[in-house]
A and B are shown apart, each in its own frame.
Chain A
Amino acid sequence: MRVNFVFSEVAAGLRRNLTMTVAMILTTGISLGLMGTGLLIAHMISDMREIYYDKVQVSIFLKDDVTDQQRDAIAAQLDSSPEVKDYIYESKDEAFKRFTQQFKEQPALIANTPADALPESFRIELVNPERYEVIAQQFPAGQNGVDDVRDEGDFLDRLFSLLNGARNATIAVAVVQALAALLLISNTIQLAAFNRRNETNIMRLVGASRWYTQLPFILEAALAGLIGAALAVGGLVLTKVLFVDKTLAGPIKAGIIPPVDWSAIAAISPVIAAVGVGLAAVAAAVTLRLYVRL
């Protein structure tokens, strides 16, 4: 296969339909960018699960007037419970310390919070995280110094369902956008094939293989897909630098939200590129097969 021939055909084709090519690249880029965002959110969700789920599953908050005796009794009961894998005790002081750590970006909030406002608690890791009910029954709220038993997993589930929803919405928009991109690719390829019908007709008549005839068109679409993928990755990098790293700096430092690592972007970039190139090439091949006689 004469490489020069193929590449000059590809370049000429892209130049000839410049407006269509730009539209094709932009829609492909937006679609891939949204897909990348969805993947990053998914990545973030799994990071957050690691941060939160592993630490705490059930918290027993104690009343302000809990006695030492009651506290020791609870600790003893946790020690002997087969359901409990591990637990830590957090005093009022420690709770406040953690609070100031978490919200050090918001000094006003800390200033307005009395040091003893936060309850002391037992933070429990269960053998089986689903068995929250058992703990809730063993330590009825309002008795023996127990103020409340809270299933942290429940809260996390709600948080994660929100994040999952965000991820799904992003991916749904990406899919719709991808559909638009595919139709544009198909259109551009039809146009390109029409523009070069003299050449392709002759190629067909002198017995050039289908592959040889179609390759320039498929490469043209694949190249557009690759440029679109590059735009998408560039968009993600900009989003990280200008939005995530700046606006979300506080919660990230506090450990509430995991940071978006360069490695995560590096990891999904090849995926974006492969999807962009693959979809564009397949769309072009199918278009040639269905609409164009080559």
Chain B
Amino acid sequence: MQIDKGEFVFLIGSSGSGKSTFLRLLLKEDNPTKGVVTVNGKNLGTMSRWQVPKLRRTMGCVFQDFRLLRNKTVAENVAFALEVINKPQRTIKRVVPEVLEMVGLDGKENRLPNELSGGEQQRVAIARAFVNRPLVLLADEPTGNLDPETSQDIMLLLERINRTGTTVVMATHDYHIVDSMRRRVIELNDGVVSRDQSRGVYGVGR
């Protein structure tokens, strides 16, 4: 199975079917018991531990529970992702406001995460994942904690990111979203790909 550059892919399946594991394999957080995972032309199986950080710099991650640092402001949370990979302060000062504007959080740079709504917190998380312009954005149920309307806004944002050429792989249970967007759908069942359909829907025969 191959996911091409610039694709938008939904990863569906019941709980425990292996969606999160699939994402973790792409990050080399886990190693496959068999088979080969290749990201950006590089075989993760033969990649040394020291090259893993370099791999992850080409990928961004968003989670259901946002995973923001509670004691840092919105801008600091986004800047943190760049600081810890040694980006120069000049670059950080330039790109953080840009990406915050892109996700619609301009004016809220100095808020703390617990002063924001769930949708806004997820926007911060997306900004942090996207600020280094990754080739791939991995999203693990990014709308799982959000109401339908807010979820729609988040999906628009992810589509926008996808249009910049970033591959998006999103694990989800939200069939409204899958059905309305009509993108490629990969369904997992007990760790096995049971369906791979372009312009698919959530459940066949629904």
Interface residues, chain A, with chain B CB atoms under 8 Å away: 1-2, 5, 198-199, 201-210, 212-213
Contacts and interface: CB of A to CB of B under 8 A. Distances in A.
A202 B80 contact: yes
Nearest to B89: A2
- Category for how many chain B residues contact A: 20 to 34
B102 interface: no
A230 B198 CA distance: 67
A198 B69 contact: yes
B67 A198 contact: yes
A207 B85 contact: yes
B83 A204 contact: no
Nearest to A4: B83
Given A207-B85, A208-B85, A210-B49, A202 B56 contact: no
Contacts of B85: 206-209, 212
Contacts of A204: 56
B173 interface: no
A199 B68 CA distance: 9
Given A198-B69, A207-B57, 6 more contacts: A199-B69, A205-B27, A206-B84, A206-B132, A208-B53, A212-B86
Interface string B153-171: 0000000000000000000
Contacts of A207: 52-59, 85
12 contacts: A5-B83, A198-B67, A202-B80, A202-B84, A202-B128, A204-B56, A205-B27, A206-B128, A207-B52, A207-B54, A210-B49, A213-B84
The main secondary structure of chain B at its interface with chain A is mixed
B56 A205 contact: yes
Interface in B72-100: 80-81, 83-86
A201 B50 CA distance: 17
> Which 3 residue pairs across A and B have the least CB separation, nearest first?
A207-B56, A207-B57, A208-B84
A2 B60 CA distance: 22
Contacts of A5: 83-84
Contacts of B80: 199, 202
Given A198-B67, A198-B69, A203 B84 contact: yes
A160 B206 CA distance: 92
B61 interface: yes
A288 to B, nearest CB: 13
A220 B58 CA distance: 30
A5 B86 CA distance: 11
Contacts of A209: 53, 85
Contact of B50 (A199, A203, A210): A210
Contacts of A202: 67, 69, 80-81, 84, 128
A5 B82 CA distance: 12
Contacts of B53: 207-210
A66 B85 CA distance: 90
Contacts of B84: 5, 202-203, 206, 208, 212-213
B63 to A, nearest CB: 9
Nearest to A198: B69
Nearest to A203: B84
A201 B58 CA distance: 17
Nearest to B80: A202
B81 to A, nearest CB: 4
Contacts of B57: 206-207
A43 to B, nearest CB: 44
